[in-house]
C-alpha cells in the first residue's frame, strides 16, 4: 500500500470552494485537585465535492476552538481522488488503519452512497456519488476516516494500470 500524497500549498491556494463537515466532537476530562478539567477534540472532513478530500483533527479547551483547528488542519491534509465518469471509484479497494478496516466497492449509476457516517462524509466530500462500503473491526471515527483515505489513495486509474503492465488500452 502506498502513502497518501497530500496536495502542496500552491495547489491548495488555487482551490476556492472547499467545504467542511464536522464529524465528531469528543470530550476528554482530566482530574485536577479542583475538579475535572474538560478539553475537546474535533474531527472534520474537508473537500470540494469534485475529487479533492482531506481530514482534520483539532484539540482545544473550548468546542469552537477545536472545530476551528480541525477545519484548519483539514485544509493542510488534502489529497486527490480518482473518480469514474459515473461518479464511482475505478475498482474494489480495501485498507486498514489501526483496528479499522474499510472496504470500498464501485456501484452502478443511481445506487448512491451506502456507508456509515464517517465513510459517507469522506465519500461525499470527495465527490463520490455511487459506492458500496463495509467497515470491519473498530468503528472509531478517526481510524475509519484514515482507513477510508488510505483506501482512496491506493486507487489507480485504467491508464496507470496499463502503463504499469505495458499494455495499451
The residue assigned the cell 476556492 is 16
**Model confidence pLDDT, tens digit, residues 138-164:** 999 999 999 999 999 998 887 877 888
More confident residue, 159 or 133: 133
**Model confidence pLDDT, tens digit, residues 50-104:** 889 999 999 999 999 999 999 999 988 899 898 988 889 999 999 999 999 999 9
For the record, the C-alpha cell of 39 comes out as 478539553
Residues 6+ away with beta carbon under 8 Å from 103: 92, 93, 94, 133, 134, 135, 136, 151
- Give residue 166's region: left, alpha or beta (phi > 0; psi -120 to 50): left
Distance, CA of 118 to CA of 125 (rounded, Å): 11
For the record, the C-alpha cell of 90 comes out as 475505478
Report CA-CA distances (Å) from 91 to 61, 105, 124, 128, 155.
42, 7, 18, 13, 7
For the record, the C-alpha cell of 109 comes out as 449509476
Residue 20, pLDDT score: 92
Report CA-CA distances (Å) from 119 to 34, 112, 148, 161, 162.
40, 13, 6, 26, 29
Amino acid at each position: 500500500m502506498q502513502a497518501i500524497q497530500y496536495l502542496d500549498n500552491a495547489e491548495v491556494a488555487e482551490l476556492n470552494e472547499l467545504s467542511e463537515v464536522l464529524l465528531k466532537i469528543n470530550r476528554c476530562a482530566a482530574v485536577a485537585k479542583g475538579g475535572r478539567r474538560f478539553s475537546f477534540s474535533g474531527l472534520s472532513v474537508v473537500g470540494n465535492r469534485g475529487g479533492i478530500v482531506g481530514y482534520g483533527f483539532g484539540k482545544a479547551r473550548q468546542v469552537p476552538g477545536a472545530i476551528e483547528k480541525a477545519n484548519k488542519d483539514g485544509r493542510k491534509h488534502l489529497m486527490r481522488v480518482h473518480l469514474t465518469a459515473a461518479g464511482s471509484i475505478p475498482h474494489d479497494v480495501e485498507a486498514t488503519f489501526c483496528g479499522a478496516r474499510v472496504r470500498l466497492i464501485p456501484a452502478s449509476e443511481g445506487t448512491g452512497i451506502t456507508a456509515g457516517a464517517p465513510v459517507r462524509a469522506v465519500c461525499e466530500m470527495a465527490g463520490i456519488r455511487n459506492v458500496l462500503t463495509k467497515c470491519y473491526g473498530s468503528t472509531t471515527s478517526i481510524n475509519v476516516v484514515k482507513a477510508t483515505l488510505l483506501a482512496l489513495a491506493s486507487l489507480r486509474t485504467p491508464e496507470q494500470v496499463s502503463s504499469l503492465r505495458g499494455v495499451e488500452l
